[in-house]
Amino acid sequence: MFKNLYMLIFLLNTPVFAQVTVSYQLIQSYSVQDINSIMNTMGVPNGILVPEYGVDFYRVLYTTEYKDSMVVVSGAMMIPKNMTCPAPLTSYQHGTTSNKLGVPSYNSSEKNICLLFASEGNIVLAPDHVGLGASTINLHPYMHGWTEAHATINLLRAAREIIPEDEDIDIEMSNQIFLFGYSQGGTSTCHAAKVIEELYSDEFTVTAIAPLSGAYNLSGAQTDFINNGEPYATPGYLPYIIMGYQSIYPELYDELSDIFVEPYASMFPNLFFGHNYGMGFINNQCAPIPLDMIQPAVRDEFLAGTHLFNEKLLENDLMDWVPQTRVVMAYCTGDEQVHYTNAINALESWSASSTFPIEAIEIGPQDHGGCVLFALLIARHIFKTTNNNGIDIELNYNSNSNQFELSFINNNDNEFSVEWSTNHTGLILENVEPETNYTLTITNLSTGCQLIQEVSVALLTAEISENIIPSFKLFPNPTQNNLNIQLEGYGKYDIRVVSSSGEVVFVKSNVQASEILIHSEDFPPGTYFVIINNEHASTSLPFIKQ
């Protein structure tokens, strides 16, 4: 049922400026069996994703910034059930949709991504965005960074308002925040992190983000790709972004005929306003070469980089961002919708300016649709290995006294047990061997939740704190012959390689080496998944056999 009565009571006890939640409703509850069935329907091979929890799916109505006012929008909130450890807030930003209800909180296919991540222990949020879902705005301001960022940020706020106050939602939030998204969602993920860092760093600290196949270099790599004079896979994206920008920047044009030639100028209002049609239908109504829909004089200015639209694209470009969090991008070189050089350009720009780790992982030659599962597995891998199970610590190496020094953030020491692999149990480990790797196990005495980390002088210097979910790298990927697996943790591992149809083609148990070689020359060409388990957990990454 709607929690309007609760929200009225909450409003009376909450400062008006802090309140963004309007209402929320439990839409459906899913068991682990339900989620496994969804994975089978999606064609996810067995063992690649392992649901641990049932999930309650809520639709949230909340307010967010739109131009110079606040408007009501909707979003999904997925809560893992019967989870004892604190869970991170993990926001998923959806890909391009022109259908009003083709969004996560209204049961789009991307809702299943949210369910899968929630079933592995994340509180998953997914904004529908202005103009879509429950929003009454007539047109989504497509690829407008400020608006999309605030839809994400305000849903984070709504979750922080709802979860602690509703006794029917039995879960504790950790202090960690993860952001990820695919395609348009990859871009809006970066905008959300950027706006948080610039305006709301006292309210949110983002642990890591995984932007996937996004148009980060909107005014450069992506503009060049769409407007290269050749047929483009999704030509409807160009009028979508132009019309969406005009809703934010009214000076862009007075009439559609100022920008578009006929019959498109007359056709586009019916196609886009109200969001009654899907992108597949819209693309089929458009000219295969996007610039053929543009007035010749406008096209000449645009190609010369002197049109006002060029300026607005540059305003929404991310090349000047200096990330203050860990960024792991993923891309496919066969992407026909978002050119992979967006990630290459972002990697070069962000790495040159940021002190935080920035990665761009090439998955292979898949197209835009074929890249999705692999990219999501990379995001999952990063989040699982960085999740601290609600145990916030600070760990330093004191070079003067040659010791590791552990302290707890926002918690008392007596709430936890501490054990080092040397059998020492104190907060300080003395006489550290510089070349030695130590295992630190911290256990919450009331819940049994654990944070298990490999600790070394070098790892602390790298400033990346990761729980010991198996962490590894694959290379070369794609491969024609052999595949190297580089294990980044320590201990014993079980390794399986599974084909996209679920066939197990390689098994090796109790692996203790830091790097192993798999002879894959006899594997048929296709997509495979490496699944690695240790005594604590399991994770997986994809590779391509050519």
Show which of 298, 315, 332 is a domain's final residue: 315
210 shares a domain with 88: yes
Q: Determine the Cα–Cα distance for residues 76 and 24; give it in Å rounded to an integer.
A: 9
Please report whether residue 224 resides in a domain: no
Residue with tokens 């879509």: 132
d(CA 4, CA 23): 6
What integer pLDDT is reported at residue 348 of this predicted model? 95
| pLDDT in the model for residue 536 | 55
- Provide the CATH number for the domain around residue 163: 3.40.50.1820
**Residue at 139 is within a domain:** yes
What are the residue ranges of helices labelled H in 103-180? 111-119, 145-165
Domain of 496, CATH number, reads 2.60.40.3080
Q: Is residue 225 part of a domain?
A: no
Please tell me whether residues 373 and 288 are part of one structural domain. Answer: no
Token duo for residue 99: 């259908």
Q: Does an H or E element contain 179, and which?
A: strand 173-182
Cis peptide, bond prior to residue 211, ω within 30 of zero: no
Domain containing 516 equals: 472-545
Angle between helices 111-119 and 32-42 (to 10 degrees): 130
What pLDDT score does 505 carry? 83
Are 341 and 489 part of one and the same domain? no
Contact criterion met (CB below 8 Å) for 86 and 123: no
Look at residue 65 and tell me if it is in a domain.
Answer: yes
Euclidean distance between CA atoms 261 and 374, whole angstroms: 40
**β-pair partners for 517:** 484
Q: Classify residue 94: in a domain, yes or no.
A: yes
Asked, for residue 188, whether it belongs to a domain, the answer is: yes
For residues 153 and 295, membership in a common domain is answered with no
b/e per residue 477-515 (b: at least 16 CB within 10 A): bbbeeebebebebbbebbbbbbbeeeeeebeeeebeeee
**One domain, residues 322 and 413:** no
Looking at residue 6, its pLDDT comes to 46
User: Which pLDDT belongs to residue 294?
Assistant: 98
Mean pLDDT by 10 residues, the chain (546 residues): 48 52 97 93 78 97 96 98 96 98 96 96 98 98 98 98 95 96 98 96 96 98 94 98 98 97 98 97 98 97 96 97 95 96 96 91 90 91 89 88 89 86 91 87 91 78 49 77 75 76 76 81 82 67 78
The pLDDT of residue 532: 79
- For helices 264-272 and 237-248, give the axis angle rounded to 10 degrees: 80
Angle at 13 between CA 11 and CA 17, to 5 degrees: 60
Query: Locate tokens 């049994």: which residue?
Result: 448
211 and 236 belong to one structural domain: no
Choosing from 257, 285, 315, the residue where a domain stops is 315
Nearest-angstrom CA–CA distance, 125 and 160:
11
CA angle (218 as vertex; 217, 222 as ends), nearest 5: 90
Q: Rounded CA gap, 410 and 495, in Å?
A: 38
Q: Give the CATH number for residue 279.
A: 1.10.260.160
Q: Mapping DSSP to helix (H, G, I), strand (E, B) and coil, where does residue 128 land? A: coil
Q: Is residue 166 situated within a structural domain? A: yes
Say if 226 falls within a structural domain. Answer: no
Give the model's pLDDT for residue 480: 83
Q: Specify whether 294 is located in the same domain as 360.
A: no
Question: Are residues 335 and 290 located together in one domain of the fold?
Answer: no
Q: Is residue 88 reached through a cis peptide bond, with omega within 30 degrees of 0 on the bond before it?
A: no
The answer on 107 and 193 residing in a single domain is yes
The verdict on 94 and 213 lying in the same domain is yes
Q: Look at the chain and report how many structural domains it folds into.
A: 4
Question: b/e string for 173-200 if b means 16 or more Cβ within 10 A?
Answer: bbbbbbbbbbbbbbbbbbbbbbbbbeeb
Q: In this structure, are 17 and 139 located in the same domain? A: yes
Q: Are residues 27 and 108 in the same domain?
A: yes
Last residue of a domain, one of 315, 342, 361: 315
Predicted pLDDT at 410: 77
Q: With the C-alpha atoms ordered 251, 255, 260, 261, is the resulting torsion angle positive or negative?
A: negative
Task: Supply 290's token pair.
Answer: 């996007």
- Do residues 131 and 138 lie in contact, with contact meaning Cβ atoms separated by under 8 Å? yes
Enter the DSSP assignment of 14. Answer: S
pLDDT at 155: 98
pLDDT score of 262: 98
CB 190 within 8 A of CB 358: no
Q: Break the chain down into helix, strand, coil percent, rounded to 5.
A: 30, 30, 40
Asked if residues 55 and 79 have their Cβ atoms less than 8 Å apart, the reply is: yes
Of 232, 239, 177, 233, the closest CA to residue 210 belongs to 177
- Report the length, in residues, of the chain: 546
Cα separation, 376 vs 362, in Å, equals 13
CB-CB contact of 510 with 497 (8 Å): no
